[in-house]
Amino acid sequence: MSTSSRVSFIDGVRTPFGRAGEKGVYWTTRADDLMVKAVVGLLERNQNIPPAAIDEVAVAAATQQGDQGLVLGRSVAILAGLPLTVPGYAIDRWCAGAMTAATTVAGGIAMGAYDIAIAGGVEHMGHHPIGQGFDPNPRFISEKIVDPAALSMGETAERLHDRFPQLTKERSDRFAVASQAKAEAAYQAGKIQQDLISVSASSESGWTVVDVDEVRRPGTSMEGLAELKTPFRPHGRVTAGNSSGLTDGATACILAGEAAVAKYGLKPKMHLVTYAFAGVEPEVMGIGPIPATEKALARAGLTMSDIGLIEINEAFAVQVLSFTDHFGMPDDDPRVNPMGGALAYGHPLASSGVRLMLQLAREFEDHPEVRYGMTTMCVGLGQGGTVIWENPNWKK
């Protein structure tokens, strides 16, 4: 009979994120090859784990067609050289795909069905623009089940500005400037590079090695952001500068139970405490992390004051500010994204959940005084997801 087990985050990696589109570094690179590169890099870093011991490979993508189709978890496992005995599957919760891949295999580990698993996500937004190939049920609109604005992520961000007038464009721009500055400081300190797997990519000018995120803008200023257009609405407040960039990239992580940790001599970087997903109005999907976090905190018997580090996906600056305002936190709360976020690195949809975990794990190493942290994100079509983690480096 299976027994329950504590779930640990052992290690995680990602490819550098590239700008989506013909001018991006990954334009001629397949999405599944990006994911394979991440998985191979992860396995090379963890050679004490026998490949045959991996019980599952769960890979997320928001658009599961073309080079993001063919049961990604299984096809990537084969292409990465894992034994054919290792199974895999694909998963989708749009922006929270990789987060859901991780929590889903974690549930299997917790109940004793798995000992060790790989979870991650990939999104090639150049090959698969948001909404490509979708055929939404017409009843969504004709029966007014969902407002048409819910299908435009930028418009959902504008709706947050409408709903919360105190969340001004100036506050959003200021948050974006800070995110870029924090990301640059993290790069200068060598923090981000530790978990990047370099990728060889071809272009018209030949082959190149991609070893940094392509869309960072460390010189971003309030003056520069003030001049940007508002593409989703005339005289709006959401711009390319206070939104996450359209990017291509892949992430992968290893999760394991206590038996595997002991058997293979693994050193966990985080322990999973609990997680929660919640639904909200699709038209204001950015508030999704709020109820998800409230549910997760209640399940863990914690309050926000117990959370010492927060990695929240910066889909839009206003979306993060709606979260911090709700919990009574200042815009520059030092707990929030200390190494910057998606406004600087980009947001390749289904891959981003594990990027949040990578950064939180690194921050835990630097902050042994912090016991609990969280990764949280909004999800298209009105959802939110939150995972609470415990720091194994914690010292009273």
Q: Which residues are catalytic?
A: 95, 347, 378
Alpha-carbon span 83 to 93, nearest angstrom: 28
Alpha-carbon span 103 to 166, nearest angstrom: 34
Alpha-carbon span 238 to 232, nearest angstrom: 7
CA-to-CA separations, 226 to 173, 229, 235, 240, 341, in angstroms, rounded: 8, 9, 12, 11, 20
Alpha-carbon span 52 to 85, nearest angstrom: 7
Do 267 and 4 contact (CB within 8 A), yes or no?
no
Residues in the chain: 396
CA-to-CA separations, 242 to 46, 154, 157, 288, in angstroms, rounded: 37, 11, 10, 19
Tokens 């010292």 identify what position?
395
CA-to-CA separations, 35 to 41, 154, 219, in angstroms, rounded: 10, 27, 30
246 backbone dihedrals φ, ψ, rounded to 5°: -75, 120
> From the CA atom positions of the chain, what is the Rg in Å?
20
Do 92 and 104 contact (CB within 8 A), yes or no?
no
Do 112 and 5 contact (CB within 8 A), yes or no?
yes
